[in-house]
Amino acid sequence: MAETKSTCPYCGVGCGVVIEHEDGQITGVRGDPDHPANFGRLCTKGSNLHLTATPVVIQHQRLRQPQKRATRSARPEVVSWDQANREIADRLLAIRAAHGPESIGVYISGQLLTEDYHAFNKLARAVIGTPHIDSNSRLCMSSAVVGYKQSLGADAPPCSYEDIELADCVLVSGANPAWAHPILFRRLEAARAAKTGHKLIVIDPRRTETAELADLHLQLRPGTDVALCHGLLHAVIWQGWTAPGFIAESTEGFDELKELVRDWTPARAAQVCGLDEADIWRAAEWFATSPSSLSLYCQGLNQSSSGTAKNTALINLHLATGQIGKPGAGPFSLTGQPNAMGGRESGGMATLLPGHRDPGRPEDWAEVATLWNVPDLPDRRGHTAVEMFEAAARGSIRALWIVCTNPAQSMPDQAVVRRALDRCELVILQEAFAHTATAKYADYLLPAATWGEKEGTVTNSERRISRVRPAVPPAGEARADWRIARDIAALIDAGLGRPPRLAAATPEALWLEHRAATRGRDLDITGLSWAKLDADGPQQWPFVNAATPRLYTDGRFATADGRARFVAKPYQPPAEEPSPGLPFALTTGRLRDQWHGMSRSGSVPGLFAHEGRPAVRMHPANAARRKLAEGELVTVRSRRGELVLPLKLDENLPPAGADIAMHWGDEFIGAQDGINAVTQGAFCPDSKQPELKFSAVAIEPAALP
Ligand code: SF4
């Protein structure tokens, strides 16, 4: 038996794994004791990874050969790689010639490795010439990106996981690490057990397993996070718990923010948020007066039409109290996907260019055009995820290349997404798994290598770059994602009569191109190499001469003048509010043992032991008022669509709340469109992240035939 060290492909904690394998087959997995994210531990998902790569799963679940559909209603037929690549290149060239490069969109994934991201970014922008490349990371962390940039000057989480152990007070807001980041939750539990006087505050409309551990659970009304942060800041200012020296030396804009929160007394915030005023005073005191306060936050803040405002309001609290740039302190955004961070770094998103550059800034554009030697690089931001599918539904995007993601399940407002996929002249789906909802719309299905078969790097939530290594060959004829991009790019470039613009022949060569784009930037990794990563293990960026565990320790930030910015954004209610006809606020979220659309985790029967089937949850008091009973089939109806699901009663939800796990697609929910039939496409104006955490719905007895 052989062993290969790699990284878990599920969440942004980025745990190290040791893959056990024999005769080209993965036989086991265990935590890597040397990896600083997990020190040998794995959660349920990670410890079952080997069961997603058994011969039975490979035989029945994996896409193993390129396939083509003659028509959308036809069964896909196996074709050779040569035929698939040639036909795809020809059809993309024809659409490009007839309608321009901007008629082509590329939608990629936070599951990809940094090298894949770099390859697809070049394929879209440099080879096809379209600015319309975005990632499903748009759905999980783009509000955190913009929040950091507006407040601190750069998209860089300033903390390390070790700050969880060092903090005296931890504020968890809009996150349930007990389920979504389990290894970090174990670290938090251990830190609390080891530290006398430790304080844990959890802000969440649901009483989650994380909230169960808290000293103080602020169970606010869904969508009112900004009002709560303003109330907390009012209390901090009123009591004189600010850090005046830090504010004067290291920040700008405090007076304007003070003016904004003047009216946000804790009494008013308590009324808007549905909280006890005394709890707001208590939380403000703990956060401001503890020697070190850390906040951990995720989708509850990000997936909102006020996502950026929620992020900046929380960062304001850190700046006002000086809880940043020191051990155990800082605003720490947790990433959902294994390489959402790598996508941000390599600029594989509509609003970014490599090295945290902005396509809309002429000097940033010029630097990348020079680095890539591509003078006709698109010089503007492209369509973000929701915008891209809306454009396809309108007909201005005519071809979509979708890579390792499942928009026909995961995107909000499925009616629009499915209209877009139906209308496109060409849909290319590059996937490891054969049976996703999006596969039904694909003209070409390209088999992608996946975890255990791929080589490259990923970056976790604490800016730590880890190596991903192959233990076994790809299933069937599957190929690495970067290679699929490169081969078709070469045919497109040949068709346009120019030398290849995406020529790198190995993942390491792609990584070196990516590294060159970080020189002199806030994420500079020019002192790092794969040899260093292999010799010394995972490292945190920036890495010029050494790794950087913590940012802004000198009170200087990444803005032009070195001062952080207080961002004064007013509280806005969610994009649609409950009404008499649609009285419930529906949230969507994760289960402990499942991942995204279950294409990988759904292949392990044991992972259904925790939660075996989809359901809509509501508070028993509301169910009783509507004469609804546990297990009864109910219709969940929004302005966009409806679902029929069994009802589960859950005292941990707020009275007017409802909740459905995000994982269930139409293969689990009969002939319907999955849970996103009812969610909305409204998004934050700054980050373009959609409001997956709030949809106004009615829940009524199902009218069955
Ligand atoms: Fe994998 Fe996340 Fe679990 Fe770690 S915590 S084993 S990265 S799913």
DSSP assignments along 467-488, one per residue = EE--SSPPSTT-B-HHHHHHHH
Cα 438 to Cα 429: distance, rounded to the nearest angstrom: 8
CA 581 to centroid of ligand 1, rounded, Å = 41
- The atom number, within ligand 1, closest to the CA of 37 reads 4
Q: Quote the pLDDT of residue 130.
A: 98
| Pocket residue to mutate for ligand 1, from 6, 7, 10, most atoms within 8 A of Cβ | 10
Look at residue 624 and give its three-state secondary structure: helix
pLDDT higher than threshold 60 for residue 106:
yes
Identify the pLDDT of residue 45.
Answer: 97
Rounded Cα distance between 148 and 139, Å, is 17
Burial of 560 (C-beta count, 10 Å sphere; 0-12/13-18/19+): exposed
Phi, psi (rounded to 5 degrees) for 686: -85, -45
pLDDT band of 666, cuts 50, 70, 90: confident
Take atom 3 of ligand 1 and give the residue whose Cα is closest: 43
Which atom of ligand 1 is closest in space to residue 7's alpha carbon? 7
Q: What is the mean pLDDT of residues 688-692?
A: 95
Lowest mean pLDDT across 169-173, 199-203, 284-288, 414-418: 414-418
Q: What pLDDT is stored for residue 619 in this prediction?
A: 96
More confident residue, 664 or 162: 162
Confidence at residue 675, expressed as pLDDT on a 0 to 100 scale: 87
Q: What is the CATH number assigned to the segment(s) 142-334?
A: 3.40.228.10
Element (H, E) at 25: strand 25-31
Per-residue tokens: 127: 């080879």
Closest CA to 397 of 409, 408, 410, 384: 384
pLDDT tens, position by position, 669-684? 655 678 899 999 999 9
Residue 373 CA to ligand 1 centre (angstroms): 39
Residues of the chain with CATH 3.40.50.740: 67-138+340-503
Tens of pLDDT, residue by residue over 371-402, are 999 999 999 999 999 999 999 999 999 999 99
Residue nearest to ligand 1 atom 2, measured at CA: 11
pLDDT-based confidence at residue 668 (cuts at 50, 70, 90) = low
pLDDT in tens, 579-593: 999 999 999 989 999
pLDDT at 674 (0 to 100): 84
This prediction's pTM: 0.96
Q: Evaluate if residue 667 carries a pLDDT over 90.
A: no
Residue 611 pLDDT > 90:
no
Residue 655: its pLDDT value, please? 87
Nearest-atom number in ligand 1 for the CA of 17 is: 6
Burial of residue 475 (number of CB atoms within 10 Å: 0-12, 13-18, 19+):
buried
Q: What are the pocket residues of ligand 1 if the criterion is a CB atom closer than 6 Å to any ligand atom?
A: 8, 10-11, 13-15, 38, 42-43, 45-46, 181-183
Task: Name the CATH topology of 584-701.
Answer: Barwin-like endoglucanases (2.40.40)
| Predicted ipTM beyond 0.85 | yes
Ligand 1 atom nearest 184 alpha carbon: 5
Question: Residues of CATH 3.30.200.210 domain(s) within the chain?
Answer: 2-60
314 alpha carbon – ligand 1 mean position (Å): 26
pLDDT of residue 671: 52
CATH architecture of 2-60: 2-Layer Sandwich (3.30)
For range 212-218, the mean pLDDT: 98
Report whether 480 contacts 455 (CB < 8 A): yes
pLDDT tens readout for residues 528-567: 999 999 999 999 999 999 999 999 999 999 999 999 999 9
Q: How far apart are the first and last CA of the chain?
A: 57
CATH number of 67-138+340-503: 3.40.50.740
The atom of ligand 1 lying closest to the CA of 46 is: 6
Q: What is the pLDDT of residues 297-333, one digit of tens each?
A: 999 999 999 999 999 999 999 999 999 999 999 999 9
Q: Could you tell me the pLDDT band of residue 506, with boundaries at 50, 70 and 90?
A: very high
Average pLDDT value for the chain: 96
Residue 42 CA to ligand 1 centre (angstroms): 6
Write out the H or E segment, with its range, that includes residue 310: helix 307-321
Condensed to tens digits (0 to 9), the pLDDT of residues 254-281 reads 999 999 999 999 999 999 999 999 999 9
How confident is residue 599, by pLDDT bands cut at 50, 70 and 90?
Answer: confident
| Nearest residue to 420 via CA among 105, 123, 208, 119 | 105
**Can you give the pLDDT at residue 41?**
98
% residues pLDDT > 70 (the chain): 99
**Tell me, what's the pLDDT at 609?**
87
- Cα pseudo-dihedral 192, 197, 198, 200, rounded to 10: 110
Tell me how far the alpha carbon of residue 337 lies from the centroid of ligand 1, in angstroms: 10
Q: What is the mean pLDDT of residues 220-231?
A: 97
CA 61 to centroid of ligand 1, rounded, Å = 22
Give the ligand 1 atom nearest the CA of 14.
7
607-619 mean pLDDT: 91
Write the pLDDT tens digit of every residue in 107-158: 999 999 999 999 999 999 999 999 999 999 999 999 999 999 999 999 999 9
